Amino acid sequence: MSLTKNRQIVFFCFLALLVFLAPACGSGPAPTDMTKKDQPTVEAETAEPKSAPKTTNSFKPRAVKAKLTASGASFPDPIYQKWIESYKGVAPDVAINYQPVGSGQGRKNFFGGSTDFGGTDKYASDEELETFGKDVFHIPTVLGAVVVTYNLPDLEKIQFSGETLANIFLGKITKWNASAIAKENPGVELPDEAITVVHRSDGSGTTSIFTNYLSSVSKDWQTKVGTGDSVEWPVGIGGEKNPGVAQAIKQTEGAIGYVELIYATANKLPTPAIKNAAGEYVEPNLASTSAAAEGFLKTMPADLRVNIINPPEGEKVYPIAGFTWILVTKEQTDKTKATALTDFLYWSLTEGTKDAEALGYAPLPETVREKALEKLTQIEVAGKPAFKLPK
């Protein structure tokens, strides 16, 4: 090959290299239309201050920096954690820590002043409120079903009346093939296996709902055990919080217990139909849980403290359901925290509703939701409202 031809090859290679490097050096063609279209969005996101909350539909939380601590019921913990995580994208400078320690401990922490708000499935008693000495609001957030669940690998579907359940948890019925269970499940082959009762070992609003139900259907239970978030169980083994009970049932063949619906679903445990006051066996779901609340709307007290156990009417009503509440003091001392708390609760009761349904919680009936939102406008700091409903 001649020297001239070699020089030509080198020359053309050099030109090709320049063309390849030109865009990286900034001397290439102008940006395309698509690049121009996308660029302002990137600039806007970069320029936005971290503390400026984003608008979520029609509601824009106020720009405050705050840390809120709370504890309480494990019953609503999955939805509360979901709300807290989602709210970070709306108000990035508001940090919320909710610990699912159980309703009983949650109320103790709140009334003891160690948390900014509390979570409970059992509304505070008159005695608790009187001892606290301050006005406390009960803000209902969602509805949930307390389900009976069991561990029998070869038995997928079964149903119970309240009387039979009470006798199981009283220790009167000890075998799965007992005549009372067989009578309510005609055609079902029941195993000749011992029943192991699993119950909560901690103070629990879930227990309060369940024992209220058993008391409503069994005078024997009402007399011997009664109601409360902590009772003296006649038989059985204890599990801590909803996850602990679910896990104990899952690990114990022949076990029966009670948990909030989402924990049974998450652990792939069965959720039997329960006989309601109308005499119908109804499975727990969003519709049957919401129906339980509707029967009490006309008699809903102003303070929103109400049990919705075993409604006297309604063929499609699931009988073991309840509200869960956030406890807040009417008169707040920290304006920043009051702002963050009321904004978060408003967002949860509006934007957060879709997350509640996705997780298996029934949203509040509209009339109850409106009453809950109205409570937020009554929270004060130094005598002035901490929150106003958006127009």
Average pLDDT over every residue of 337-361:
94
Please check the confidence at residue 156 and state whether its pLDDT lies above 70.
yes
Whether 169 and 279 map to the same domain: the answer is yes
Using the 3D structure, point to which of 262, 283, 299 is the last residue of a domain: 299
Q: Based on the structure, what is the number of domains in the chain?
A: 2
As a whole number, the mean pLDDT across the chain is 87
Q: Kindly state the helix (H) or strand (E) to which residue 85 belongs, with its residue range.
A: helix 77-87
Report the C-alpha dihedral over residues 160, 161, 166, 169, rounded to 10 degrees: 0
State how beta strands 281-282 and 273-275 pair.
Answer: antiparallel
Other Cβ atoms less than 10 A from the Cβ of 234: the count is 14
Q: What percent of the chain has pLDDT over 90?
A: 78
Residue 270 pLDDT: 97
Beta strands in 115-234 (DSSP E): 117-120, 136-150, 159-160, 196-200
What three-state secondary structure class fits 200?
strand
Q: What percent of the chain has pLDDT over 70?
A: 85
Indicate whether 9 belongs to any domain: no
Whether 156 and 107 map to the same domain: the answer is no
The 10s digit of each residue's pLDDT in 71-126 is 999 999 999 999 999 999 999 999 999 999 999 999 999 999 999 999 999 999 99
The 10s digit of each residue's pLDDT in 173-204 is 999 999 999 999 999 999 999 999 999 999 89
Whether 272 and 204 map to the same domain: the answer is yes
The 10s digit of each residue's pLDDT in 268-289 is 999 999 999 999 999 999 999 9
Other Cβ atoms less than 10 A from the Cβ of 73: the count is 33
How far apart CA 320 and CA 162 sit, in angstroms, is 10
Indicate whether 347 belongs to any domain: yes
Whether 162 and 257 map to the same domain: the answer is yes
Sign of torsion over alpha carbons 262, 267, 273, 275: negative
Residue 57 pLDDT: 54
Whether 151 and 294 map to the same domain: the answer is yes
- For the full predicted model, state whether its pTM sits above 0.95: no
Average pLDDT over every residue of 337-346:
98
Task: Kindly report the CATH number assigned to the domain that includes residue 259.
Answer: 3.40.190.10
DSSP structure class, residue 246:
H
Whether 277 and 381 map to the same domain: the answer is no
Indicate whether 294 belongs to any domain: yes
Domain that holds residue 338: 66-143+323-385
